[in-house]
Structure 1
Amino acid sequence: MRRQSTAARAGLVAAGLLELAVVSASSSRPRGGPGTGFGAVGRLLDPEARWATRASYPPLDVPKPVAQDVFIVDSQMSGAMGSVLPVRMTVLRLPDGGLLLHSPTRYSIALKRALEAIGPVRHLVAPNLAHWVFLKDWQAACPDATTWAAPGLRGRKQVRDAGLRLDGELGGTEPAAWGGTVELVMVPGGLGFHECALFHHPSRTLLLTDLVMNLEARKVPALLRPVLRAFGMTDGMPPPYLRAVVKLRRGEASRAARHLVSLRPDRVVFAHGQWFERNATGALRRALRWLLP
């Protein structure tokens, strides 16, 4: 710890405090699985199962239109210590009619069929080092789709062990196959972190993943609310450990953040929490206040 910067030490301490808060709000009893019997009746009777549903943004695992050629899919994923996190995929329909899936969520045959009614799935995007865990199922179901990854993802041991195929690494410019309607903005950080933000020019929609997090207090356990508020995670900011990592390359990250705000998006969609549907540019500026002057 003595060799770490002040920002890194603060991030590690904050991460530890957050984990302790999660542990205090967790239960040793599983919500589902063999022998637990959690069907519709179980969800009605069990308060934890009801909370798992309430933490998300139903209807789940179905495409929902938010603008011309822009759709979101709200879903769930496992969090720390058995918690449930809301997670979101954004789908863009490109000029050739094909679909780009940004940060794919859990796969289902029904979801694939619903998306194919909009257009063929042609591009899968893993926009940072964390949001890739559902990609393999989508690759198996859509073998002709091209998988694009954030820098550094290919070298991660977990990715290699999972046998994930990565066709291209995203860099300074967006792939020509995206049809010229999507702008790629790279937000760098330390320890190999990059977030690949996409701006869909026709709809003026900005796609982020973890750079902004806007958890609603009513959707998280009561014991966690004070901690999340203190860390700014109910007011647009990501967890302290991620802020610390990004600030290791603060100059470059600040320039990228200023560019994102200068795009003046009409809406900002991200992976966790309530996305910015109205007054999006002002909300984005506030959420990125830890990077902006």
Structure 2
Amino acid sequence: MSDPTYPPLDEPKPVARDIWVVDGPIIRFYKMPFSTRATIVRLENGDIWLHSPTRWSRDLQQKIEALGPIRHLIAPNWIHYAYVADWQAALPDAHVWAAPGVAGRAASHGVDIRIDHDLTQDAPPEWAGQIDQMIVEGSRLHREVVFFHRASDTLILTDLIENFEPAKLPWWFRPLAWLGGVSEPGAMPRDMRASFAGHTDQLRAQVQRMIDWAPTRVILAHGRWYREGGTDELHRAFSWLLD
């Protein structure tokens, strides 16, 4: 049986010094099975920065807290907030940082999240100089905050690139992933690409900034992430925009 996930699940897995990923269970998005992934960064003061949290459990919380106190919960776009409320309930002193659109989307779906800070184009003092950030704008549908962890040369994306390995997908999902442009080796989903119509110059400049960060690795929320050659993968995934 095909399995789109990346076991072991609910387990911090080292990426480089002070950065880990947590692979979570599948979620259903328009009935299609998407693997999920969170990213953990330990800041210089020891605090934990948790990006796009996967499902909460007491066990996973304790495993992450063994790395440091969880102080920052990151909702990087208008879709990736689904589990933040559960983490906030378990960690009421943690600060929730949300991308533009999250508050309205959560309210429209009856999800109760206390948003403490809006994510902006500039990194806040809590992680300035350690994690760079940028809001990718210009889409009619999608604004995503992307992050670059300087110490590990790691770019952290959410949905701007998806990379589904056909062998791990149900047979009926494979042609849909191919049509959507997100089969391995991965790229921006075609519907998202279309949503930047009329603003491709703006998107090109934003992608160029990501390339200028020169990441070694690129972590994605869905599918296989890029453990090496990150800058080359960005050139390839956005060749339709850059060429």
Whether the TM-score (by the shorter chain) exceeds 0.5 is: yes
| Structure number with higher helix proportion | 1
1:250 aligns with 2:190: no
SS of the residue 1:196 aligns to: strand
Equivalent position of 2:236 in the other structure: 286
Q: For 1:193 and 1:252, locate their aligned partners in 2 and report how far apart those are by CA, in whole Å.
A: 14
Q: Does 1:271 align with 2:206?
A: no
* Native 8 Å contact 2:24 2:35 kept in 1: yes
1:231 correspondence with 2:199: no
**SS of residue matched to 2:163:** coil
Alignment of 1:68-107 (within 5 A): 68-80=17-29, 82-107=31-56
Going from structure 1 to structure 2, the CA distance change for 1:188 and 1:182 (only over 3 Å counts) comes to same
SS of match in other structure, 1:265: coil
Are the structure 2 counterparts of residues 224 and 184 from structure 1 closer, same or farther at C-alpha, using a change threshold of 3 Å? same
Letter in 2 for 1:136: A
C-alpha offsets along residues 103-128 of structure 1, whole Å, 9 cap, x if unaligned? 11110000000000000000011101
**Partner AA of 1:93 in structure 2:** R
Deviations 1:58-113 (A, max 9, x none): 00011001100000000123214644320100110001100101111110000000
2:158 to 204, 209, 234: 209
- AA matched with 2:230: A
1:241-280 deviation line (CA, Å, top 9, x unaligned)? 1112234532221111011011110100010010000212
Matched residue type, 2:130: T
Structure having the larger proportion of residues in strand: 2
Which one has a bigger Cα radius of gyration? 1
| Percent of pairs with identical residues | 39
Q: Answer yes or no: is 1:261 the counterpart of 2:231.
A: no
Match of 1:165 among 93, 102, 114: 114
Distance 1:251 1:192 in 2: 17
Question: What RMSD, in angstroms, separates the aligned Cα atoms of the two structures?
Answer: 1.7
- Inter-CA distance 95–179: structure 2 relative to 1 (3 Å threshold): farther
Q: Which moved more, 1:108-117 or 1:182-191?
A: 182-191
Amino acid at match of 1:72: V
* Aligned-pair CA distance for 1:144: 1.0
* Stretches of structure 1 lacking an aligned partner (at least 5 in a row): 1-49
Q: For residues 19-46 of structure 1, what are the alpha-carbon distances to aligned partners after superposition, in whole Å with 9 as ceiling and x for unaligned?
A: xxxxxxxxxxxxxxxxxxxxxxxxxxxx
Matching residue within 129, 134, 137 for 1:185: 134
Write the distance in 2 (CA, Å) between the matches of 1:219 and 1:255.
34
Residue deviations 1:164-188 (CA, integer Å, cap 9, x gap): 1111111120110125200002211
Closer/same/farther in 2, CA of residues 250 and 278 from structure 1, 3 Å limit: same
Alignment of 1:41-190 (within 5 A): 50-51=1-2, 54-80=3-29, 82-156=31-105, 158=107, 161-190=110-139
